[in-house]
Structure formats: C-alpha cells, structure tokens
A = this chain, B = another copy of it.
Amino acid sequence: MLSKKAKYAIKALIFIAKDADKSPLPVSIIAEREKIPKKSLESILLELRNAGYLYSKKGISGGYVLSKSPEEISLVGIVRLMDGPIARVSCASAFHYRSCEECLDEAACSIKKVYLKIREEELKILSETSIADMISNEQLTSCNLILEHA
C-alpha cells in the first residue's frame, strides 16, 4: 500500500506548488488546510528538504518553498523517498536490489520475472507523472464537474 506518509508528501508538494505567491509556507498552514497531523508533516517536509525538493526558511515568516519547478518533480522520486523501492519484491528492485531471503533459485524464479514486469509498468507511470501533471489533472476534474452541471 501507498503509505500515508507518501500521500501526505504528495499532497504537501501539490499544495506548495499551487501557492501563487512564492513566499514561504509554514508547516502549520499546510497541515491545517490539508488536514495532516502537524508533527507528521514536519518530519515529512524535513525529509523532502534534505532530498532537495524544498528550500526552507527559518524564523518568523519562515516556511517551505519548492526548490524545483513542479514540472521537474516526478512522483517516482517522492514515492521512493517516502516508501522505499518501487518493486514489490526486493530481487526486482533496480536501486535496492537484494535477493529474497526465502529464495531457493533466483535464476529460475518466475515470481521475480512477473514482478519485474509489474515494476517496469509502475515505474513508467510514476516517472511520467509530475507534480504539475497532478495539478492540471485536479483542475481538469473540477472543470468537468462544472461542465456536467452546466
């Protein structure tokens, strides 16, 4: 399952990206508006900052700002950072390869082969989707809803 941590991270990045003026957004505002527990969000934004997604400013009128453009931030990096490898079995992971502890014959393992395919598909979708895509996708939906009611 996609963890809450990852969902919170994605939501926070979208929220920050949508913020019109580029003044830093304090954790408290994001937490309140997105209904995310403040302390949890704090540690998530810290991780995102350390990974280079955000720039943070301390003190009064401090907060977080994107350090890349929304087009440059793809989901795959966020999900990897928050939830670890994309692959569902460790032997199918490119960056965190580890042979499965219960595996008897990895070369012949058909589970590995199936999950390599699955990983590939998921990777493709996650790398092709940026925060900017997510935002336009949201707006597309509200647009459709307005049209439906028109």
Chain A residues with CB under 8 Å of chain B are 1-2, 4, 7-8, 10-11, 14, 34-36, 75, 88-90, 100, 102, 104, 107-111, 113-115, 117-118, 121-122, 125-126, 129, 133-135, 137-138, 141-142, 145
Contact = CB atoms under 8 A, between A and B. Distances in A.
A110 B133 CA distance: 9
Q: How many copies does the complex hold?
A: 2
Closest 9 CB pairs of A and B: A110-B134, A121-B121, A110-B137, A108-B141, A2-B88, A108-B138, A110-B138, A118-B122, A2-B89
A48 B81 CA distance: 35
A67 B77 CA distance: 44
A121 to B, nearest CB: 4
A137 B118 contact: no
Contact of A100 (B7, B135, B138): B7
Contact of A121 (B1, B36, B89, B125): B125
Main DSSP-derived SS at the A contact region: helix
Contact of A111 (B10, B88, B142): B10
28 contacts: A1-B88, A1-B89, A1-B90, A2-B88, A2-B89, A2-B115, A4-B102, A7-B89, A7-B102, A8-B102, A11-B111, A36-B102, A75-B114, A107-B141, A108-B138, A108-B141, A110-B138, A111-B134, A114-B125, A114-B134, A117-B125, A118-B122, A118-B125, A118-B126, A121-B121, A121-B122, A121-B125, A122-B122
